[in-house]
Amino acid sequence: MDRDAALGDFLEKYVLERWQEDLAAIGEHYEKNQAEIEAGFLKAVDTACMQAVHLQEQQLKGDIQYIYLSLLRTSIMEHQAVYRIDVLDERWFLDPSECVVQWQADFIFNPLFQRIAALDNVKSNYARKISAMDVERILQIEAYRYHLFAIEFMRGLVPSILEGEGFLRMGQKPTLCILAGEFRDQSEILFQAEGGGDEAGGE
């Protein structure tokens, strides 16, 4: 079996469609821990909003234009799913007053990380035709699907974000929007106060 054939066999047996099994595990864990999971996310967003409130009180930050929920792709390689929550005024990433909180989407990504960790043992069956770099590449590709699951989770909690104390207290632009994506990359609008498009480009 040459390398291409080995990789194809490896993908078919251990990678392709396995996400469906993970989806069931994610759903079961979420159902059992829904209140705690949602509260953890909403607390992280509210903390970032309260940071903005304090900076606005000191005249160090303008009215908020963006709440940006972004995956730190580099964290995936460490088997962590870290999302950065930025609260920004109209200057976007040129806003000099940071309001940043991190939140981990472990309940979504842990089944993937466990499955990828198991691949390190399985690849030894392929006589070095499957490398650690192959497994890392598989992780990055597969992670995108789970990132989409995380975005849908966050989208579902937008109404709760809008009712949060920090959100209600901070000064806002009338066209404030909440976006989700990857850090300084393509992002998707989850909410916009006065309508708008469906996508936004990062820097």
pLDDT digits (tens, 9 = 90+) for 140-155: 999 999 999 999 999 9
Longest dimension (CA), the chain: 67
pLDDT in the model for residue 203: 40
Render pLDDT for 1-48 as a digit per residue (tens, 0 to 9): 678 888 888 888 888 888 888 999 999 999 999 999 999 999 999 999
In the sheet that holds 172-182, the strands lie side by side as 100-104, 82-89, 64-71, 172-182, 187-192, 199-200
pLDDT in the model for residue 13: 82
Whole-structure pTM value: 0.88
- Percent of the chain clearing pLDDT 90 (strictly above): 68
Is 132 within 8 Å of 120 (Cβ atoms)? Answer: yes
Question: Which tokens hold the place of 106?
Answer: 């472990």
Most confident of 63-77, 113-127, 174-188: 63-77
Q: For the chain, give the mean pLDDT.
A: 90
Residue 187 pLDDT exceeds 60: yes
Render pLDDT for 53-75 as a digit per residue (tens, 0 to 9): 999 999 999 999 999 999 999 99
Count of CB atoms situated within 10 Å of the CB of 199: 11
